[in-house]
């Protein structure tokens, strides 16, 4: 009996000890479960937020979000909200410099409210238009009017209360990038070319930040001023792609730009900032080749099949390895593996700050180690 009494305190101690361990373990399990529930709920909320914004875009605090003009019941409301009406007496048309889908494009002068005259390009809507054509014409102005960035073409205003209907934008002296490069083949240093690419990437980063997907990024849709500043332009394609059931292949303006378009966008019309990144890789190739046609004389169907089989454009002559590697990164088959525009801008900034990183050229590596050179296909 004395022995039993002597062991009683030890039993109580062990009982309390294991009870505490059990309670602590149970508490940990509950906490872990709550933690799992919290992150799962947070992830679910995040996924819901992503699907509620166009193209998966989540607004960044302090940065406005792009508003699609097609969401307005009355399209003229978007024109009034995002553009400025210009008195036509302030515009002087000088000469025709081109033609677009809707009418002529002219150069001219715009007298500002401060009486200063600035050079402008004037898009005019040809006579005999129907309401749909007028709406589509002004839609591009409603888009451009939301942008404010040095590497995006600037809208000065519109003329809608008299005829001809006009869209007035800043005048960019050197015209389209592809033509400009072909006219000046071999005239620029690699650093100058990288500077152009950096400007384009900066403009695309801005568009990505506000939730706008370009869908038709190509050297022909980029303008160059006298200081070699590149400005992204041509924002008229997206509506056709959304509304036209045949848009995977054609638009009212002609064929879809197969050579610049990401595989998922061609096959499934999945346009995103990632598909713009693919197009940016093609623009890089155009710049470094001084305006050569991507995939040369291959047919569109051959381009599609070749890309599906893993073919990627080889580096242009004189192209630094670092730039061709970035191109290949932009051409990853899996869109989630492509670089985002902030990363592209950061990478190009590093190259500009460290020009020696641009010295290794692709053809030098090919000569030194042809067996190890595998830049021409990309299976991932």
CATH for 194 = 1.10.510.10
Give every CB contact of residue 304 below 8 A, 6+ residues apart in sequence.
Answer: 258, 263, 266
- pLDDT of res. 378: 45
Say if residues 230 and 199 touch (Cβ distance below 8 Å). yes
Domain count, the chain: 2
Domain presence at residue 19: no
- pLDDT of res. 134: 94
CATH number of domain containing 116: 3.30.200.20
142 & 258 share domain? no
- pLDDT of res. 99: 87
Select from 97, 136, 100 the least CA-distant residue to 120: 97
Domain presence at residue 106: yes
186 & 136 share domain? no
- pLDDT of res. 73: 87
pTM of the model: 0.79
Angular region, 296: left φ>0, alpha ψ -120 to 50, beta rest: left
Domain presence at residue 207: yes
**pLDDT under 50 in the chain at which residues?**
4-5, 17-19, 21-56, 239-254, 370-380
Domain presence at residue 117: yes
- Set 136, 209, 216, 234: catalytic member: 216
Domain presence at residue 362: no
245 & 317 share domain? yes
| End position of a domain, from candidates 170, 203, 238 | 170
- pLDDT of res. 236: 74
- pLDDT of res. 15: 53
Give the residues across from 266 on adjacent strands: none
203 & 284 share domain? yes
Q: Is 136 a catalytic residue?
A: no
141 & 194 share domain? no
Half-sphere exposure for 204 (CA within 13 Å, toward CB) = 34
Is 123 annotated to bind a ligand? Reply is: yes
149 & 285 share domain? no
3-state secondary structure of 197: helix
215 & 276 share domain? yes
205 & 316 share domain? yes
Residue 348 domain boundaries:
175-354
Domain presence at residue 30: no
pLDDT tens string 15-31: 554 445 444 344 433 43
186 & 305 share domain? yes
| End position of a domain, from candidates 170, 192, 215 | 170
Domain presence at residue 76: yes
Select from 232, 236, 230 the least CA-distant residue to 221: 232
Domain presence at residue 44: no
310 & 328 share domain? yes
145 & 287 share domain? no
- pLDDT of res. 101: 81
- pLDDT of res. 59: 60
| End position of a domain, from candidates 148, 170, 192 | 170
165 & 182 share domain? no
- pLDDT of res. 229: 99
């Amino acid at each position: 009996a004395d022995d039993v009494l002597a062991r009683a305190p030890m039993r109580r101690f062990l009982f309390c000890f294991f009870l505490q361990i059990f309670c602590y373990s149970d508490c940990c399990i509950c906490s872990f479960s709550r933690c799992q529930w919290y992150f799962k709920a947070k992830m679910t909320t995040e996924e819901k937020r992503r699907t509620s914004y166009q193209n998966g875009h989540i607004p960044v605090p302090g940065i406005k979000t792009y508003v699609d003009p097609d969401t307005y019941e009355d399209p003229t409301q978007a024109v009034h909200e995002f553009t400025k009406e210009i008195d036509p007496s302030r515009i002087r048309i000088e000469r025709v410099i081109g033609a677009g889908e809707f009418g002529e494009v002219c150069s001219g002068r715009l007298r500002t409210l401060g009486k200063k005259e600035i050079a402008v390009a004037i898009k005019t809507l040809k006579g005999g238009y129907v309401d749909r054509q007028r709406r589509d014409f002004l839609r591009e102005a409603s888009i451009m009017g939301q942008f404010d960035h040095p590497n995006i073409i600037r809208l000065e205003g519109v003329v809608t209360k008299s005829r001809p209907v006009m869209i007035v934008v800043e005048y960019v002296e050197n015209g389209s990038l592809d033509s400009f490069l072909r006219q000046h083949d071999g005239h620029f240093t690699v650093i100058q070319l990288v500077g152009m690419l950096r400007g384009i990437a900066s403009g695309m980063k801005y568009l990505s930040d506000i939730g706008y997907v370009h869908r038709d990024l190509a050297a022909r849709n980029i303008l160059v001023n006298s200081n070699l500043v590149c400005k992204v332009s041509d924002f008229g394609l997206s509506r056709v792609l959304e509304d036209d059931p045949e848009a995977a292949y054609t638009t009212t303006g002609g064929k879809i730009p197969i050579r610049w378009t990401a595989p998922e966008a061609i096959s499934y019309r999945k346009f995103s900032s990632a598909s713009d990144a693919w197009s940016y890789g093609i623009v890089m190739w155009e710049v470094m080749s001084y305006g050569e046609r991507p995939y040369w004389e291959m047919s569109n169907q051959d381009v599609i099949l070749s890309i599906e089989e893993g073919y990627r454009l080889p580096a242009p002559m004189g192209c630094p390895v670092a730039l061709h590697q970035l191109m290949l990164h932009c051409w990853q088959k899996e869109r989630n593996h492509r670089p985002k525009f902030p990363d592209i801008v950061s990478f190009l900034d590093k190259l500009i700050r460290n020009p020696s990183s641009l010295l290794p050229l692709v053809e030098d590596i090919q000569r030194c180690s042809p067996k190890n050179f595998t830049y021409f296909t990309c299976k991932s």
